[in-house]
Amino acid sequence: MAREQRRLAGNVSGPFFVDASCIDCGTCWTFAPAHFRNGASQAEVWHQPAEGAEQGQALLALQACPVAAIGAPRELIARTPVEGFPARVTATRRGEVYYCGWASRQSFGASSYLIVRPGGAGNVLIDSPRFNRAIARRLEALGGVSSLLLSHRDDVADHQAFADHFGCGRWIHSADADAAPAAEHRFTGREPLPFDADLRVLPCPGHTEGSVAFLFDDQVLFSGDHLWWSESTGALVASRQVCWWNWPEQVRSLERLLELDVRWLLPGHGGRRIFAPGEWGRELSRLLDSLDS
Ligand code: SF4
- Please state the atom number of ligand 1 nearest to the C-alpha of residue 25: 4
- CATH fold group of domain 87-290: Metallo-beta-lactamase; Chain A (3.60.15)
Q: What percent of the chain is predicted at pLDDT more than 90?
A: 95
Could you tell me the distance, in angstroms and rounded to a whole number, from the CA of residue 65 to the centre of ligand 1?
5
33-64 pLDDT, tens digit each: 999 999 989 999 999 999 999 999 999 999 99
Could you tell me the distance, in angstroms and rounded to a whole number, from the CA of residue 219 to the centre of ligand 1?
29
Could you tell me the distance, in angstroms and rounded to a whole number, from the CA of residue 37 to the centre of ligand 1?
10
Q: Hey, how many other C-beta atoms are within 10 angstroms of the C-beta on 6? A: 14
Taking residues 137-147, report their average pLDDT: 97
Taking residues 262-274, report their average pLDDT: 97
- Please state the atom number of ligand 1 nearest to the C-alpha of residue 64: 1
**259 pLDDT higher than 80:** yes
Q: Are 236 and 284 in contact (CB under 8 A)?
A: yes
**273 pLDDT higher than 80:** yes
List of residues 6+ apart from 24 with CB closer than 8 A: 38, 41, 42, 43
Q: How confident is the model at residue 170 (pLDDT cuts 50, 70, 90)?
A: very high
> What residue ranges line ligand 1, CB within 6 angstroms?
18, 22-28, 43, 65-67, 69-70, 109
Taking residues 132-153, report their average pLDDT: 97
Domain boundaries, the chain: 4-72, 87-290
Task: Give pLDDT, residue 78.
Answer: 94
C-alpha to C-alpha distance for 266 and 71, rounded to whole angstroms: 27
C-alpha to C-alpha distance for 29 and 35, rounded to whole angstroms: 7
Task: Give pLDDT, residue 52.
Answer: 93
Give 4-72's CATH code, choosing from 3.30.1390.10, 3.30.390.50, 3.20.20.140, 3.30.70.20.
3.30.70.20
**151 pLDDT higher than 70:** yes
Q: Which amino acid is at 188?
A: T
Task: Give pLDDT, residue 293.
Answer: 58
Taking residues 154-170, report their average pLDDT: 97
List of residues 6+ apart from 224 with CB closer than 8 A: 127, 151, 152, 155, 204, 207, 211, 212, 213, 267, 268
Closest CA to 85 of 49, 109, 56, 48: 56
Taking residues 5-9, report their average pLDDT: 96
C-alpha to C-alpha distance for 248 and 103, rounded to whole angstroms: 30
C-alpha to C-alpha distance for 69 and 243, rounded to whole angstroms: 27
C-alpha to C-alpha distance for 222 and 98, rounded to whole angstroms: 12
Task: Give pLDDT, residue 120.
Answer: 84
204-238 pLDDT, tens digit each: 999 999 999 999 999 999 999 999 999 989 999 99
Taking residues 99-128, report their average pLDDT: 96
The dihedral built from the CA positions of residue 13, 17, 21 and 26, taken in this order, carries a sign that is negative
Task: Give pLDDT, residue 1.
Answer: 86
C-alpha to C-alpha distance for 238 and 287, rounded to whole angstroms: 8
The dihedral built from the CA positions of residue 218, 223, 224 and 230, taken in this order, carries a sign that is negative
Could you tell me the distance, in angstroms and rounded to a whole number, from the CA of residue 196 to the centre of ligand 1?
35
